[in-house]
């Protein structure tokens, strides 16, 4: 897949609108940007935020997909206010590891060591914030296994 370079927004908008002309003939893209500021061409996967001029156009893209490089990409609504920031040093929320001053806590075992150093990786263990469940701190599936 070819990378989308967002440094020239109007050129990207024009190319994406043209690629989607057949499935979305009335699509008008207002802006495009990477979800993460440091998204680069070296990453194999990342999220692109596409802002449209109408709710109907956004809904059509979500329902029917978005064409890029000959592939239909799945889309979902992006609400910035709904994003969650989690620290992967202490596993708590509302801050990031770079700014963390709390004790290190493993995401697998909840013990006081870095997650990458854990010998329990891949095994389901009890976590400090999900007691007595059986999922990891960052798991999207919070139902009991």
Distance between first and last Cα of the chain = 36
pTM: 0.56
Q: Is residue 138 part of a domain?
A: yes
Task: Give tens-digit pLDDT for 113-144.
Answer: 998 888 876 665 554 444 444 455 555 554 44
Residues 106 and 68 in one domain: no
Distances from the Cα of 106 to the Cαs of 84, 103, 134, 136, in angstroms? 19, 10, 15, 10
Residues 68 and 18 in one domain: yes
Q: Is residue 136 part of a domain?
A: yes
Distances from the Cα of 6 to the Cαs of 15, 47, 51, 102, in angstroms? 11, 12, 13, 37
Residues 71 and 88 in one domain: no
Task: Give tens-digit pLDDT for 26-81.
Answer: 999 998 888 776 655 666 677 888 999 999 999 999 999 999 888 999 999 988 88
Say if residues 110 and 102 touch (Cβ distance below 8 Å). Answer: no
Q: Is residue 3 part of a domain?
A: no
How many domains is the chain partitioned into structurally? 2
Residues with Cβ within 8 Å of 54's Cβ and at least 6 positions away in sequence, in order, are 28
- What backbone phi and psi angles, to 5 degrees, belong to 30? -85, -45
Residues 72 and 98 in one domain: no
Residues spanned by the domain of 104: 84-145
- In 3D space, the residue among 15, 120, 112 whose CA is nearest the CA of residue 68 turns out to be 15
């Amino acid at each position: 897949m070819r990378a989308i370079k967002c440094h020239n927004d109007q050129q990207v908008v024009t190319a994406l609108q043209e690629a989607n002309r057949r499935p979305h003939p009335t699509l008008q893209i207002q802006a495009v940007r990477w979800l993460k500021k440091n998204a680069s061409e070296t990453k194999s996967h990342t999220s692109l935020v596409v802002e449209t001029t109408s709710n109907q156009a956004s809904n059509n893209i979500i329902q029917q997909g978005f064409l890029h490089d000959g592939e239909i990409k799945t889309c979902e609504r992006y609400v910035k206010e709904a994003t969650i920031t989690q620290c992967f040093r202490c596993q708590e929320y509302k801050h990031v590891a770079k700014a963390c001053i709390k004790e290190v806590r493993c995401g697998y075992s909840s013990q006081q060591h870095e997650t990458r150093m854990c010998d329990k990786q891949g095994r389901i263990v009890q976590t400090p914030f999900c007691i007595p469940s059986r999922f990891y701190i960052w798991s999207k599936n919070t139902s009991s296994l």
